[in-house]
Structures are given as structure tokens and as C-alpha cells.
Amino acid sequence: MKLRNYRTAQKKRRHDVFSRSETDCESEKDEASHWINNKFPPSRIRFDPQVQIPGSSILIFMARLHLPIAEATPIYEQLLTLFPTAAKFWRQYVEAHMAVNNDDATKQIFSRCLLICLQIPLWRCYIRFIRKANDKKGVEGQEETRKAFDFMLNYVGSDIASGPVWMEYISFLKSLPAQNTQEESQRMTAVRKVYQKAIVTPMHHIEQLWKEYENFENSVSRQLAKGLISEYQPKYTSARAVYRERKKYVDEIDWNMLAVPPTGSEEIQWMAWKRLLAFENFGHACHLMDRIDTASSNKRVIFTYEQCLMYLYHYPDIWYDYATWHAKGGSIDAAIKVFQRSLKALPESEMLRYAYAELEESRGAIQVLLVLHAAKKIYESLLGDGVSTTALAHIQLLRMSRKAHCIQSARKYFLDALKSSNCTYHVYIAYAMMAFCLDKDPKMAHNVFEAGLKRFMHEPVYILEYADFLTRLNDDQNIRALFERALSSLPPDESVEVWKKFAQFEQTYGDLASMLKVEQRRKEALSGSGPTPNVDILCYYYSYLGILFILEVDTIFLIDPLPHKYHHHLLKFTEQQHKSFSFQHHEMSSFVMNQSENLVEEVMKSHSTLQNTMNQSSVFSAVEESHCVIKVVIFGILFIIFVGEIPVRNREELGVSASMVQVQF
């Protein structure tokens, strides 16, 4: 709906523009000129490519209406500095010079804009200039004009709107004089080649060009025409089918859009270009055109990317996709040129620099040193003046230095990075792990972690990474010392993960006494952050790599954890029950629903009996043992219910409710 409304607005805008009379346009120009003179003198106008696009239009009005080209030139230059890919501004600029026959300035402007602005109106302006300049030069001028047509069609011949250009070129070739039979034959051959290129290009007027081609071949030789037409008929049919699909995507493009940095308002156009690029790359067009000519298909993809960058010039993902497409096709040099252009357009894009450096690094072992040196230079450019350098830039440069040179070079960059105000704990961790894993130097890694600890004792993530490193070294003594030092300085709200790691370490590598001691200290230290259900703690301690003995507990909260010696009974029981119910789900589900109510009633009766005998000291130990057995039985039932083998809607049928489970023993 949003896209449909957008298209309707675009059509209405075009209708309003073309429905105005010439008198209306002149009055508007006079009014605009008067308003500009009073409100917006050139000295007061400031450019902002992101928010002041209407101001740019005002400047164009000023330049076109009443200023001589000599005075308008600085305005155009300032405008085109902000919008270097705005073909309509380039065309207005060059037409202003053409109007006063300033040929040298016209040539200079064309040399600056043609290859970056692949737009048919601008290129047709170029052809008009060339034809006018060579109109009276005879054969030499005709040859120059022919070369200009070939040059133009090589770049914009794939445009869906290039039909009139092909027709103009064909008309020009047909109009060339032929002094003899040989020249006539050469002229016909040249016309035939242009026709055959045009009829396999998915563009407007393709059907008209096909009819003209048929008439042309029949006028030359009916016998030869039959074979040529039958040869090109399937290619023309495929190109026409591609054109009809291509037109649907092209109609969504706003060709008056200016290339501005992303603000969110251009999302519709960004999506439209993405769909068009996907169609050219992977859609039906790709398969059909590959049957005609793979080279032509690739040329059209390149043209689409280049045209897209005229409008999405500030979008790094478009530059990256374009370079990646070249690289996947084996054109590494072309991909590098795209990355170099992208960094001129977006010099602050770290993503493009990383991608460019990766491409340089992956070029192979033919010129290893040169390749690594080129990649290293790209990473060095990320540092800039050092003031706005990010920690990620330091880390990437460290890695590249280690690859391109040696340990000493990486160490030097690390010492330089420490002097930066933007050096975070990430740089310490990265270099320490590089020394440990790549240089096989655990002592150096340990020293780096210790040096960083003096600056980042307040960072829980740094503490955890340091602890993991010491765990790899089996240095349990220093691990405990690290936890003690860190927990003594961290505030409670920031020490939750460190306490959890400490307790897990003791549970894995210590004994029961040390684990319980750390757990008690953890509870006391974090008492202000709210209670933690004991079942959560139990699940955390007795889990491994995502394996939990309780998969889902819902609203179950245990008042006291089970004694440690009964954990293996619970695990064994639940594991057996889970396997049994997984193997015979349908048979056992009915059995559980029939028997569970009786089982729970028996458990409750046993609990009542145990409560009545609690005053008898002689049976106290038996009561405690039975107490734990009851918990195991209830846990087993709950496991079967909540593991998902029995549908949730049948839980009430089992007779087990939350009130039954929250039993106070």
C-alpha cells in the first residue's frame, strides 16, 4: 500500500509538471527570480546535502534564470561538490556552457561527469555536442561521430531507456554517403550489427526495433533475411520477456532522487534498487540473458550497479555488494577499483576498509609481501589522526601487523595503542590472546593481562576473560586470587557474573566445602539484588554445555534444595522416566493420567503421617530420609509433566496443581 501511494504521488507530480502551460511556467520563473533576489542572495545560502535539498533547487533556479554562466559557475561547482552524481545538475551546467558556445569548458565538464553519471539525457546532450562540433568536418567528422556513438552505447546501451539512442545511431549510419558498392556493403554491415545488438537488449522500443530490423533485412536480401531472422528470433523473444519483467522493477525507481546520506526516508528507494539488482543478478533475467550472451548480461549488471550508485552514493552496502560481485566473478582488479572509489565516497566507513583489506589479503601467494603491505596500509588508514580511532581499529591493525611482519612489529603497535585515549580493555585481551595462541608465549600473555588489570579492574568482562585464560593454564591458585581481588573492588550490581563464574569454578575444580562456602558468600554479597530461587542455582550447578536435568519448572519453587547425596537418585530417576515416555508416549500417557492422581494422594498421606511422627526423636532420621524420597518422587512426576511429553491441557487431569507441589515439609 505504501509503495502504491508513492507511485500515485509520483504520477500526479509528473502530470502536474507536464500539464502546465508555457505562460504558467514563465510566470513561475519570474516569481521565483524575484523571490530569490530578495530572500536568498548567494552569500547567505549554505549547503547541506542531507537536509537542505530545496536550497539546492533554489540555487539552480538562480543559476539558470538570470545569472551569466561566468557568475553561475561557482554555484554549480559548489552544488556538484555536494552531489557529484546528480546527472540533472551536470546536464544543466553543461547546457549553460553549450548555450554560449564555450566548447573547451563543455569538453572539460563532460570528461568529469560522463563516466559517473550513466543517464540517457546527459549522454544525449553529449552526442548533440559531438555531432554539432563535427557536422562540417566531412568524413573525418563522421568517423568521430560514429566513435562517439559507439562510446556512448558501450556505457549506456544497456539502459532500459536507450531505445531512442539506438534508433538515432541507426539513422546516422543509414545517412552516411556511400561512393561505391564496397562502401555501401560496409554501411549495411554496420547497420546490421547495430540492429542485432539492439534487438537483444531489454529496453523500451524493442518491438519497434525488431520490426525495423525485419524490414531492413528483407530490403537487403529476402533469402539472407530468412536465416538471420530465424537465428535472432529466439534471442529477441528472450530479451522482450526480460524487458517486460525488468520494467516492473524500473518503474519503482525515482529518477529525480538526489544522493544523500541515509536518513530513513529513502528506504522505499533503497528497497526498489535492491529488488532491481537482485533481478539482474539472480532473477529470471539472469537465466534468460545468459542464453543470449553472458558478456552482455554481465555488462548490464555492471550498468545497474553504476546507475544505482548515482542515487545511493552514500550507502556502503551497495558499494560492498558491487565489489563482491566483481570478486566472485574473478575480476579482482575491478573489485579493488570499486573499493577505492567507495573509500573516496565514504572515507569514514570502517566496514568498507575492512572488506577492502580482506580482499587485498586474499589475493593469493603470488605476491604475498606486496599484498600484505597493501592490506596493512589500509588498516593504518583507519587510525587517522588518532583522536577518533576506535579500539576495533587498533585490534585489526595488531592482527595485520602480526601477519605482515613479525612479533616485534605487533608489539610495537600494541605499545603505541596503549598511549591512545581510546584504548579499551578489548585491546589488552586481543593482544594477550594473540601472544598466547599465535606466539605461544603464555608468560607474555599473563603479563599483558596483569598490566590491563591495573586499568580495568572495574570491568567484569575483562575479569572473566582473564579467568578463562588462567583456566587454560590450570593455574587455580591465581584464578582464586583474581576472583578475590576483583570481588573486593567491584560493586554488588556489577559482580553478579563474576560471582557466578567463581562458584562455577569451585563446583568444577574445587570440593563441596569450597563450593558451599563461595555460594554462601555470594548470597550475602548479592542479598540486596533480590533472592534467587534455589532451583535455579541447582540447575545452574548441575548442568553441562546446555544439558539440564530439569527442562522446565514453570511456577515451581523449592524452599530447600535437596541434599547433595540424593542428586544422583533424581537424575537417574528422571532420565529413566524420560527415555520410557519418549519411547512409548501414547501408551504411557494414558497410564500416567490414570495413576498419577493415586500416586499424589499416597504421597500426601505419607507426608501427613510423617508430620504426626515428627515429635518422636527416635524416628527423626527416618523422617528426614523419607522427606527426601518424597521430594524425589514429586520431582519425577513434575519432570514427566513439564518435559513436554504430556500435553499441557492434560495437566489438570493428572490432579497435580501448583498448590499440591508447593508443599511445606
Number of C-beta neighbours around residue 495 at 10 A: 22
Q: Is residue 384 part of a domain?
A: no
Confidence band of 210 (pLDDT split at 50, 70, 90)? very high
Q: What is the pLDDT of residues 311-363, one digit of tens each?
A: 999 999 999 999 999 999 888 889 999 999 998 999 888 888 888 878 877 77
- For the stretch 175-207, pLDDT in tens is 988 888 888 899 999 999 999 999 999 999 999
In a domain, 664, yes or no: no
Whether residues 176 and 102 fall in one domain:
yes
Specify whether 475 is located in the same domain as 515.
yes
Asked whether residue 580 is assigned to any structural domain, the reply reads no
In a domain, 247, yes or no: yes
Long-range pairs, 341-346, Cβ under 8 A, ≥24: 342/316, 345/313, 345/314, 345/319, 346/314, 346/316, 346/319
Joined grid coordinates for residue 278? 537482485
In terms of pTM, does the model score above 0.85?
Answer: no
Residue 555 main-chain phi, psi, to 5 deg: -100, 25
- Are residues 520 and 538 both part of a single domain? no
Residues 470 and 508 in one domain: yes
Asked if pLDDT for residue 578 goes beyond 90, the answer is: no
| pLDDT of 48 strictly over 80 | no
Is the same domain home to 522 and 481?
Answer: yes
pLDDT recorded at residue 320 = 95
Q: What is the mean pLDDT of the chain?
A: 74
Dump pLDDT digits (tens) for 631-661: 545 555 544 444 444 444 444 444 443 333 3
3 state DSSP class of 294 = helix
In the predicted model, what is the mean pLDDT of residues 392-410? 72
pLDDT tens, residue by residue, 365-376: 434 444 455 555
Residue 349 lies in a domain: no
Q: Specify the range with the lowest mean pLDDT, choosing from 46-50, 94-98, 206-210, 532-536.
A: 46-50
Average pLDDT over residues 140-154: 93
Taking residues 13-18, report their average pLDDT. 39
**Measured between alpha carbons, how far is 185 from 145 in angstroms, rounded to an integer?**
20
> What does the alpha-carbon distance between residue 267 and residue 367 come to, in Å, rounded to a whole number?
42
139 found inside a domain: yes
User: Does residue 91 sit in the same domain as residue 125?
Assistant: yes
Most confident by average pLDDT, 318-327, 452-461, 521-530, 568-577: 318-327
**If you compute the radius of gyration of the chain from its CA atoms, what whole number of angstroms results?**
39
Residues 497 and 538 grouped into a single domain: no
Instruction: Choose one of 216, 251, 286: the last residue of a domain.
Output: 251
Domain extent at residue 549: 533-562
- Domains contained in the chain, number: 3
| Rounded mean pLDDT, 484-507 | 87
Mean pLDDT along residues 56-67: 56
Query: What CATH code is carried by the domain that includes residue 238?
Result: 1.25.40.10
For residues 325 and 301, the answer to whether their CB atoms sit within 8 Å is yes
Q: What is the pLDDT of residue 383?
A: 62
Joined together, the cell numbers standing for residue 322 give 558491487
- Say yes or no: 505 and 538 in one domain: no
Among candidate residues 251, 271, 294, the one where a domain is terminated: 251
Do 122 and 208 belong to one domain? yes
- In this structure, is residue 232 part of a structural domain? yes
Q: Examine the fold and report which residue of 562, 582, 615 is the final residue of a domain before the chain moves on.
A: 562
Note whether 82 and 130 are same-domain residues. Answer: yes
In a domain, 606, yes or no: no
Q: Is the domain of 526 the same as that of 544?
A: no
Most confident of 57-61, 64-68, 641-645: 64-68
pLDDT of residue 354: 82
Rounded Cα distance between 173 and 176, Å, is 5
Same domain (yes/no): 495, 552: no
